[in-house]
Amino acid sequence: DVKVTQSSRYLVKRTGEKVFLECVQDMDHENMFWYRQDPGLGLRLIYFSYDVKMKEKGDIPEGYSVSREKKERFSLILESASTNQTSMYLCASSSRWRGGAEGYGYTFGSGTRLTVV
């Protein structure tokens, strides 16, 4: 019953490293999203994608980039990790054709807790 899989549950990286967070969904969803969640700030949208090779900036894209070469995979890239990027990262997907997020909601992965030291 696996739906959205994030490659790592916990990750520790050093400042300045290039970090890749991977997300794979097996539901043939068109839409994929990356959020970060911090205490007191809720979930903030970083990037989203509505199709292969398409991407759009969310509310806080600075310091991040994304890649969507295949429909099922959406990668979040921290070009040069910094301590202020220590956070919980959540990936989500939704279907466009079955009413999109309106019809069936978002399916989330379990999250990746990233610590940058």
Partner 1 sequence: SQQGEEDPQALSIQEGENATMNCSYKTSINNLQWYRQNSGRGLVHLILIRSNEREKHSGRLRVTLDTSKKSSSLLITASRAADTASYFCVNSGGYQKVTFGIGTKLQVIP
- Residues interacting with partner 1, by CB under 8 A? 4, 31, 35, 40-45, 48, 50, 56, 58-59, 88, 90, 92, 100-111, 113
Q: Which two tokens stand for residue 85?
A: 């990027």
CA–CA dist 14, 37 (Å, integer): 20
In terms of CB distance, is 41 or 117 closer to partner 1? Answer: 41
CB of 80 to partner 1, least distance (A): 26
Residue 44, helix vs strand vs coil: strand
* Nearest distance, CB of residue 108 and partner 1, angstroms: 3
Our CB check for partner 1 shows the closer of 18 and 98 to be 98
| Nearer CB in complex with partner 1: 51/79 | 51
Closest CA to 115 of 8, 12, 6: 12
Strand order in the sheet with 4-6: 4-6, 19-25, 73-78, 64-70
Nearer to partner 1, 18 or 41 (CB): 41
